[in-house]
Amino acid sequence: MAPKLILTGFMATGKSTVARHLARRLGWRLLDCDAEISARAGKPIHQIFRDSGEAHFRAMERSVIAEMSSGGRRCARCGHPRPAVIATGGGAIVDPKNYAALRDSGVIICLSARPDVIARRISAGVKARPMLAHGGMPVKQRIAELMEERHEAYARAAITIDTSERTVDQVVDAILDALADAYPTIVQALPSTAHNPHGPRK
Ligand code: S3P
């Protein structure tokens, strides 16, 4: 199995930012599911929802997740499957097929945050969060509702890191520490071996 680290978790828990930093720290490839969907559609996610609806977005999400979680190409320099950090959108893992594909491709890491922290982080950009605009429901109430609905899906992650009071670097450190404890073979495949011939960036 190509080692993949998959970031899931509720909106505004820091998935894309942490994935970028984690990938840079490891020298691994970064795959961002929402960025890929947006590039394919030629518009931001909230416009896909507005123009074509959630079902269309979820279909695109399923096909991007299927591609990203499949084996993929081998590294031209070392011949090993290329490791990657995958950032998924907050609802991706709720779909059983997405979950199974992601679980089979690597280690699923859930980023969490307290509801009040999430509400604060999204306060400037609620319009870009179609899942929170729900029948005029107050945002805090909608966050609580959606968190409750998704609780079990997020609980399937192998590792959960609370980002409420951590900086991005602290979250990356916490992920690497948790991996070293629970998945030493993945961590052994980090910077010093042929899985990462290009070396980590500082
Ligand atoms: C969604 C989360 C969003 C994006 C889409 C749906 C969700 O991604 O995929 O708006 O269902 O929670 P982020 O979690 O990166 O905001």
**pLDDT-derived band of residue 73, with 50, 70 and 90 as boundaries?**
low
The protein residue with its alpha carbon nearest to ligand 1, atom 11, reads 91
Domain positions in the chain are 4-188
Please tell me the distance from the alpha carbon of residue 47 to that of residue 196, in angstroms, as a whole number. 37
Given the candidates 3.40.50.300, 3.40.50.720, 3.90.1170.50, 2.60.120.380, the CATH classification of the domain at 4-188 is 3.40.50.300
Residue 4: strand pairing partners: 84
Judged on CB neighbours under 10 Å (0-12, 13-18, 19+), 11 is buried
pTM, whole model, 2 decimals? 0.91
Q: Which of 43, 112, 131, 150 to mutate to test the pocket of ligand 1 (most atoms within 8 A of CB)?
A: 131
Summarised one tens digit per residue, pLDDT across range 18-61 is 999 999 999 999 999 999 999 999 999 999 999 999 999 999 99
Question: Higher-confidence residue: 199 or 69?
Answer: 69
